[in-house]
Amino acid sequence: MKKSRAMISLVVFVLILGLLGYTAVFGVGSDKSGSASSIKLGLDLAGGVSITYQVVGDENPDAEDMNDTIYKLQQRVQNYSTEAQVYQEGSDRINIEIPGVSDANAILEELGKPGSLYFIAQTDSEGNQNYTSSFGVDAEGNLIPQYMLNKTIGEMLEDGSIILTGTEVDSAQARTQQDSMGNSQNVVALTLNETGKQAFAEATRKAFENGETIAIYYDDEFVSVPGVEAVITDGNAVITGQSTPAEAEQLASTIRIGGLKLELEELRSNVVGAQLGSEAIHTSLIAAGVGFALVVVFMIAVYYISGLAASLALCLYTELMVILLYAFEATLTLPGIAGIILSVGMAVDANVIIFARIREELATGKTVQSSIKIGFSKALSAILDGNITTFIAAIVLYLMGSGTIRGFSITLMLGIILSMFTALFVTKFLINVLYALGVQSEKAYGVGKERKTINFLSRRKAFFGLSIGVILIGFVVMGVNQAGMGMPLNYSLDFVGGTSTTMTLNEDMSIEQIDAQIVPLIEEITGDGNVQTTKVAGSNQVIIKTRTLDVEERKEFADVMVNNFAVEEDSITAETISATISSEMQTGAVKAIVVATILMLLYIWFRFKDIRFGASAVAALVHDVLVVLAFYAIVKISVGNTFIACMLTIVGYSINATIVIFDRIRENLKEMRNKEELQDLVNRSISQTLSRSIFTSLTTFFMVAALEVFGVSSIREFALPLIAGIICGTYSSICLTGALWYVLRTKVGQKAVKTAK
């Protein structure tokens, strides 16, 4: 690259960086599209809409029906946000909290009336016409379908006109398929249960013979009136006629929400403020800025001109992440921040791997230009394997997870793609530009020094014993906690539910003031810090959620508010609420993690041609999770929705760190001459990647530690176990993974394995 061309390239890059930076901070247009301020934030950071539904006609609905209704509503409201929460209040009410929106009426209109879907035959059992496409006016002047002037839903249920209700629909999914002409069409695929299958078979037989239709009626209007083109006996039907994928998804979503076992009616709806208050956003931004600055200073101080190029690439990474979060309409919450932190760590990690390789090549006497080229080439396999493995896990979590897990996976997937792009292309481009501009001295890049090989494997028994001991201590503490607290970990409201107390203050207090003045008094009553506060926008009404309170504690709560804040006792109401993370969501999370782990194992097996690499990586991953679990138990940190994101972050961090060492072992195996060298080879591989393991941990540590120092209390509870996970992940990748592989290699199967070429 000529010097003049390099200068032009650098100027263009700086201009692009400035333009994207302006867009990320200030946005474009009057609505600030693309800016950080336009990103949707979760209930914890920015608030949203809270809707309470009540079951119609039954004060004590069946628990199974309530759980089924909550689960299906959760699936429905995820169309608005992956971070939406649905939970039970009292015996017959369901709360829905949707972050990032402020128009409760619009949400209510789109949700409609849950549990009011009917499939109506065109003629009843006596041949009477049930519906037409025309409309009429009732006695009150309301415009309604013509047939409703003569028959009510109750009457049609009696005369057999209604052949199915929504409860007999097992699933409704928007899909695409080819028509008879080979053209793609948007459809909704229905699957009926056994009861619905039989009734639908008879209804479609009659409609098909008479050339009639079967109407789908929901919330006082027809949503679809499809013709019957065949007798359907297997319970699987397809509705055609949707012009766009969005239209098909809307119909499928309507059928799903209309298929609830319980019929609900709106009791109340509010716009609620951020659970963490505006201070949480402010302190998080400060923490992000400080952490990023520390990373930049560290990279330049350690890697000189290469570190400068990486820092510029990280700036571009940050700007693109902000813009893409807006473009994908992602809802950013604390778990989402975890995904970003992990991806920043992986972006730095890729650069560190590359720079270490460049320095190694310089140490062999190669030129700077040649070392840059070879360094990027040799680092490619480790970067690809680490990122692809984590990306596989992110895809599985998105497809199988829900709520917090999906929010985490979205930010993680975006981060992985961006980190690979910036490390492999942008950093390389900038280093080549700076070289062409005259920065060609070896000293500007740093020359690697031959590191003394540390005999890690000689201490493997001590490392194994230490890890097993910490894990056992964790289980012992969990047993003690079970005996003392009634649960092994300090589960928050998200997992076990609790009591929601609503009151009206006599003055307008901010969330920060409530946290400072009211929450400490509540914590004295509950005996723990598991207290969540939410304020209803435009009013003095406050909702405080705590662990389950007994009668005496509820009275003490009320007395504190009356005596200290002059709250009228009549305005204080308390209700028992269920967990916001339902058992189905917990089961789904576990299944997603298990499937992701299996796929990661298979990928590592495929890439390294030795299942013992995969088994060792998974064993280290399980170790890290169990150690952090022990940390939660010992420190008694609240286990809430951020717990899942924290564990997922540690899984991603652990597997990525492990693969870098395994990649070096795989490379060195090609040079191994005899079997006796195996232990020395593993030690040499770990020592060669030691600086990468430590430096990547430090840069990620800077980001998380800044959250711990500057964040509000709930953010610190989120950052502290992440710090423990980073330390544990570093320890396991250096001290355990190579040793585990060595033990499996020498004890399980004595034949040499075929290595990747």
Domains annotated on the chain, with CATH = 3-24+276-444 (1.20.1640.10), 41-114 (3.30.70.3400), 117-259 (3.30.1360.200), 457-474+582-747 (1.20.1640.10), 498-577 (3.30.70.3400)
Q: What is the pLDDT of residue 752?
A: 43
| pLDDT above 70: residue 535 | yes
Residues 594-611: tens digit of each pLDDT:
888 888 888 888 888 888
Q: What is the pLDDT of residue 749?
A: 57
| pLDDT above 60: residue 137 | no
Pairwise CA distance, residues 318 & 21, whole Å: 9
Banded model confidence at residue 457, pLDDT cuts 50, 70, 90: very high
Task: Return the higher-pLDDT residue of 442 and 406.
Answer: 442
Burial class (CB in 10 A: 0-12, 13-18, 19+), 503: buried
| pLDDT above 60: residue 200 | yes
The mean-pLDDT minimum among 96-100, 236-240, 427-431 falls in 96-100
Banded model confidence at residue 156, pLDDT cuts 50, 70, 90: confident
The mean-pLDDT minimum among 110-124, 350-364, 543-557 falls in 110-124
Percent of the chain topping pLDDT 70: 86
Residue 423 tokens, joined: 């490390």
Residues 334-366: tens digit of each pLDDT:
666 666 766 676 678 888 889 988 998 998 889
Pairwise CA distance, residues 750 & 608, whole Å: 17
3-state SS, residue 601 = helix
Q: What is the pLDDT of residue 402?
A: 67
Pairwise CA distance, residues 670 & 335, whole Å: 41
Neighbours of 20 (CB within 10 A): 18
| pLDDT above 70: residue 57 | yes
Residue 667 tokens, joined: 């490379």
Q: What is the pLDDT of residue 753?
A: 43
The mean-pLDDT minimum among 144-148, 238-242, 266-270 falls in 144-148
* Residue 662 contacts residue 355 (beta carbons within 8 Å): no
Banded model confidence at residue 582, pLDDT cuts 50, 70, 90: low
CA-nearest of 644, 512, 656, 675 to 581 is 644
Task: Return the higher-pLDDT residue of 518 and 78.
Answer: 518
Q: What is the pLDDT of residue 741?
A: 93
Task: Find the angle CA(703)-CA(704)-CA(707) to the nearest 5 degrees.
Answer: 100
| pLDDT above 80: residue 464 | yes
Q: What DSSP element (H or E) covers 169?
A: strand 169-178
Torsion of CA 158, 164, 168, 174, to 10 degrees: -160
**Alpha-carbon distance values, 660 to 199, 388, 505, 616, 730 (Å):** 59, 13, 56, 13, 12
CA-nearest of 739, 503, 491 to 637 is 491
Pairwise CA distance, residues 68 & 262, whole Å: 9
Pairwise CA distance, residues 312 & 13, whole Å: 10
Could you write out the DSSP letters of every residue in 27-92? -BTTTTBTSGGGSEE-TTTT-EEEEEEEESS-SS--HHHHHHHHHHHHHHHTTT-TT-EEEEETTT
Pairwise CA distance, residues 400 & 586, whole Å: 11
Pairwise CA distance, residues 580 & 70, whole Å: 10
| pLDDT above 80: residue 230 | yes
Banded model confidence at residue 755, pLDDT cuts 50, 70, 90: very low
**Alpha-carbon distance values, 277 to 272, 274, 510, 534, 560 (Å):** 11, 5, 8, 9, 23
3-state SS, residue 214 = strand
* Top-ranked range on mean pLDDT: pick from 106-120, 171-185, 501-515, 721-735: 721-735
pTM for this model (two decimals): 0.72
Pairwise CA distance, residues 459 & 453, whole Å: 14
The mean-pLDDT minimum among 454-463, 553-562, 702-711 falls in 702-711
| pLDDT above 70: residue 730 | yes
